[in-house]
Amino acid sequence: MDFLDEPFPDVGTYEDFHTIDWLREKSRDTDRHRKITSKSKESIWEFIKSLLDAWSGWLVMLLIGLLSGTLAGVIDLAVDWMTDLKEGVCLSALWYSHEQCCWTSNETTFADRDKCPQWQKWAELMTGYTEGAGVYLLNYFLYVLWALFFSFLAVSLVRVFAPYACGSGIPEIKTILSGFIIRGYLGKWTLLIKTVTLVLAVSSGLSLGKEGPLVHVACCCGNLFCSLFSKYSKNEGKRREVLSAAAAAGVSVAFGAPIGGVLFSLEEVSYYFPLKTLWRSFFAALVAAFTLRSINPFGNNRLVLFYVEYHTPWYMTTRLGKYPVLEVIAVTGITAVLAFPNPYTRRSTSELISELFNDCGALESSQLCDYINNPNMSRSVDDIPDRPAGPGVYSALWQLTLALVFKIVITIFTFGMKIPSGLFIPSMAVGAIAGRIVGIAVEQMAYHHHDWIIFKNWCRPGADCVTPGLYAMVGAAACLGGVTRMTVSLVVIMFELTGGLEYIVPLMAAAVTSKWVADAFGKEGIYEAHIQLNGYPYLDQDEFTHRTLATDVMRPRRNEPPLAVLTQDSTTVEDVETLIKDTDYNGFPVVVSHESERLIGFVQRRDLILNIKNARQKQDGVVSNSVVYFTEDAPQIPASNPQPLKLRRILNLSPFTVTDHTPMETVVDIFRKLGLRQCLVTRSGRLLGIITKKDVLRHMAQMMNQDPESIMFN
């Protein structure tokens, strides 16, 4: 009896921090599919099972959409409640946020809409007074205390239970989607802790956002549902198709932008994105947006539109990085103290962006809309001409300038702290502030100098020719585009966010220009930069233009010992075991003989170890000098001699080969497009060497004068 007919549970899986072989995964999936198809003709039950299998992809999408939409809704509601908890509490129902608490109130005046007797600030509840410096200070003190408590809780939970829950997670997801294994990064534990700490971190009022982390949360949901179907849980390639779609669902609920989500996944995150995944992403994003809409966290019937909240840090490491809890507490304190005096940094970033985007209608009470009205003109609300700015606008300008500096600096320092944090909103806020300042400046120039040539053609006196709000919107898009280098997805997200379909041309122009300008400083966006900092083995889409050949990159190099190979019928079990012990290669080429060096196939280290171990335990007669056969038939051997070990089953008979003369740009292209893990190099049919993905990445780093040792994982 051959014990090896049934594969072991672990054959064909990968180790942690290793790269998957896409071609192999695809091939395994096709095998599985064929088995199911041929079985489905046997019985009705098998037929139903095959149907279920065919539809499981859509089912997983449905589940991902439902769960990530629900989680996003719950997070939104919890953040609302906990943000308000820092200030006070609703006496009629403890679980009501400030806004919900006052909905039921009878105060219907617009200005008093957030004042109602049921809602009591902490100091009011404790002392009974509502005014005075003492009350103000007590409120302020309790506010900071709650903030520190929330952020302390968040950073402790992340530290103790799920270190992977920190950051936005997008660079790691990008790396995982490119075929890297990081076990636990998308696990249930990470999902739970990330959801809870995201609420805590955002509620603490820190300068960080929930949009990026929601992508990570959605991908965790995707991974969770993959485990329900062996089609996805047992195939790393198929799993990544699901994760690509989950990323789309994540952006869909973060911004209420389903199409933008699909495009974000396509342009920014995914590596392998066939049309089938496009359709499924589209479906998952649709379900997620619909679920969020049904939960309706913002009490209106549209999708989120401009209601996104809180901002998000860049990535960098400060010296405090070694003391993550201290770092978070310190940054929380500094943020609270510095942000308080300026009305534009005190409020939540989403409110700020919303105000900056707004045009000044007649009813607008904002300081930014303090224009001097011309009493001779009576016009409708929508048609207000350019007016001279009042003192409010000028003081707002100064405050905005200070806020701009503060935002840029604090964003750099909030960098990569060990709590869940996103990236979109702070860059949008910076861009929106700058845009609004420029907008007001141009508007006032146009008003005071409407005879200048540039204004003459498109401004009639008395008409509205400059809209500062539009400048803010374009500025936000440009800044976000510069940070992430998104183009199409950026514009779609912006107009799904603002509903401003008419401004598509200025938004597109901003996206293209900011990409050009940013590319002049360096080709990589924030996510690629982070991937490089972490040394993940990510093969980006940049073109490789150096004149090197496969022979320059392959191992063994000159002066190195020859390539470790197995022969098809003359290696013993002991030889193999020695080879495994002495080297740490992930696999070994199998050749006809050491003399001819003609390549037969490739065998994985992991498969070899498992099979030999298993054979030694269960198969009689397999000892150290048993010969390992990779040929189709092993010769008959007398029972007294050691029995041969037949391993053709684990031999990959179609290893990928290139010739030594192949230009490296072709090799890079092949690795990227086919998702190879390694590739063998031959010359006129003889095996010369091997190139792994890590070799390719190292070579590329070398060619760009970077440290090749920055590529840390395999």
Size of the site for its own copies (CB under 8 A): 75
Site map (CB under 8 A) of its own copies, residues 478-507, x = contact:
---------xx--xx--xx--x-xx-xx--
Q: Smallest distance from the beta carbon of 507 to its own copies, in angstroms?
A: 10
Q: Which two tokens stand for residue 55?
A: 């539809």
Restricted to residues 594-653, the positions that interact with its own copies (CB under 8 A) are: 596, 598-601, 653
Say how far apart CA 485 and CA 262 lie, in whole Å: 16
Closer to its own copies by Cβ: residue 335 or 657 = 657
Restricted to residues 351-380, the positions that interact with its own copies (CB under 8 A) are: none
Closer to its own copies by Cβ: residue 368 or 664 = 664
Q: Smallest distance from the beta carbon of 149 to its own copies, in angstroms?
A: 39
Closer to its own copies by Cβ: residue 417 or 492 = 492
Say how far apart CA 616 and CA 613 lie, in whole Å: 5
Binding segment (CB under 8 A) for its own copies, from list 31-39, 128-136, 424-432, 573-581: 31-39
Closer to its own copies by Cβ: residue 74 or 488 = 488
Q: Smallest distance from the beta carbon of 533 to its own copies, in angstroms?
A: 21
Q: Smallest distance from the beta carbon of 600 to its own copies, in angstroms?
A: 6
Task: Using CB under 8 A, pick the residue from 85, 153, 512, 579 that binds its own copies.
Answer: 512
CB 232 within 8 A of CB 270: no
Q: Which amino acid is at 399?
A: Q
What's the DSSP call for residue 646? Answer: E
Q: What angle do CA 593, 599, 603 make, to 5 degrees?
A: 95
Q: Tokens 């079985």, residue?
A: 39
DSSP for 45-102, please give it.
Answer: HHHHHHHHHHHHHHHHHHHHHHHHHHHHHHHHHHHHHHHHHTTEEESS-TT--HHHHH
Closer to its own copies by Cβ: residue 47 or 161 = 47
Q: Smallest distance from the beta carbon of 657 to its own copies, in angstroms?
A: 6
Q: Which amino acid is at 10?
A: D
Closer to its own copies by Cβ: residue 154 or 676 = 676
705 CB-near residues (< 8 Å, 6+ apart): none
Closer to its own copies by Cβ: residue 172 or 496 = 496
**SS3 track for 496-514:** HHHCCHHHHHHHHHHHHHH
Say how far apart CA 166 and CA 419 lie, in whole Å: 4
**SS3 track for 558-598:** CCCCCCCCEECCCEEHHHHHHHHHHCCCCEEEEECCCCCCE
Q: Smallest distance from the beta carbon of 293 to its own copies, in angstroms?
A: 7
Closer to its own copies by Cβ: residue 363 or 505 = 505
Closer to its own copies by Cβ: residue 367 or 659 = 659
Q: How far is CA 46 from the centre of its chain?
A: 38
Closer to its own copies by Cβ: residue 290 or 394 = 290
Restricted to residues 526-545, the positions that interact with its own copies (CB under 8 A) are: 541, 543-545
Closer to its own copies by Cβ: residue 178 or 223 = 178
Closer to its own copies by Cβ: residue 33 or 188 = 33
Q: Smallest distance from the beta carbon of 279 to its own copies, in angstroms?
A: 5
Say how far apart CA 445 and CA 498 lie, in whole Å: 27
Q: What angle do CA 205, 322, 315 make, to 5 degrees?
A: 55
Q: Smallest distance from the beta carbon of 89 to its own copies, in angstroms?
A: 35
In order of 251, 269, 305, the CA distances from 248 in angstroms are 5, 9, 17
Q: Which two tokens stand for residue 169?
A: 């997670």
Q: Is 570 in the site for its own copies (CB under 8 A)?
A: no
Restricted to residues 644-683, the positions that interact with its own copies (CB under 8 A) are: 653-655, 657-659, 661-663, 665-666, 669-670, 673-674, 682
Q: Which amino acid is at 478?
A: A
Q: Smallest distance from the beta carbon of 667 to its own copies, in angstroms?
A: 9
Say how far apart CA 308 and CA 354 lie, in whole Å: 9
Task: Using CB under 8 A, pick the residue from 4, 11, 17, 33 that binds its own copies.
Answer: 33
Say how far apart CA 516 and CA 510 lie, in whole Å: 10
Q: Is 457 in the site for its own copies (CB under 8 A)?
A: no
Site map (CB under 8 A) of its own copies, residues 216-245, x = contact:
------------------------------
Q: Smallest distance from the beta carbon of 239 to its own copies, in angstroms?
A: 17
Restricted to residues 244-303, the positions that interact with its own copies (CB under 8 A) are: 258-259, 262-263, 266-267, 274-276, 278-279, 282-283, 286, 289-290, 293, 302-303
Closer to its own copies by Cβ: residue 262 or 691 = 262
In order of 142, 545, 669, the CA distances from 672 in angstroms are 54, 15, 5
Q: Tokens 């702070």, residue?
A: 426
Q: Is 685 in the site for its own copies (CB under 8 A)?
A: yes
Binding segment (CB under 8 A) for its own copies, from list 12-20, 22-30, 353-361, 391-399: 22-30
Say how far apart CA 486 and CA 473 lie, in whole Å: 16
Closer to its own copies by Cβ: residue 113 or 686 = 686
Binding segment (CB under 8 A) for its own copies, from list 33-41, 344-352, 617-625, 704-712: 33-41
Q: How far is CA 17 from the centre of its chain?
A: 18
Burial call 413-444: b when 16+ CB within 10 Å, e when fewer: bbbbbbbbbbbbbbbbbbbbbbbbbebbebbb
